[in-house]
Amino acid sequence: MAYFMIFFPLYLVLAWISLRGTWKRKEFQYYWVQIPVLAAVLALNILIASGVQMASISSVLTGLFSNYIK
């Protein structure tokens, strides 16, 4: 929970900057990509900071996208 409290405000600023540009350009169709990517990066950073041993980020992404791409 402590890592969430550290990283969440930082990612709120990152999300606000990222989504604000998309809002100004009225490109709302990209939100379905941007919001899950921001959430996945936040989750990965919390897992890495808490010391969870992972093989690599590419293996995590492969496992994540293997359900969608066949």
Query: Which single residue is written with the structure tokens 């100004």?
Result: 24
- The domains of the chain are located at 2-65
Distances from the Cα of 25 to the Cα of 19, 20, 29, 59, 62, angstroms: 10, 9, 11, 34, 31
pLDDT in tens, 24-45: 888 888 888 888 888 888 888 8
**For the whole prediction, is pTM greater than 0.85?**
no
Residue 54 has pLDDT above 70, yes or no: no
57 or 48, which is more confident: 48
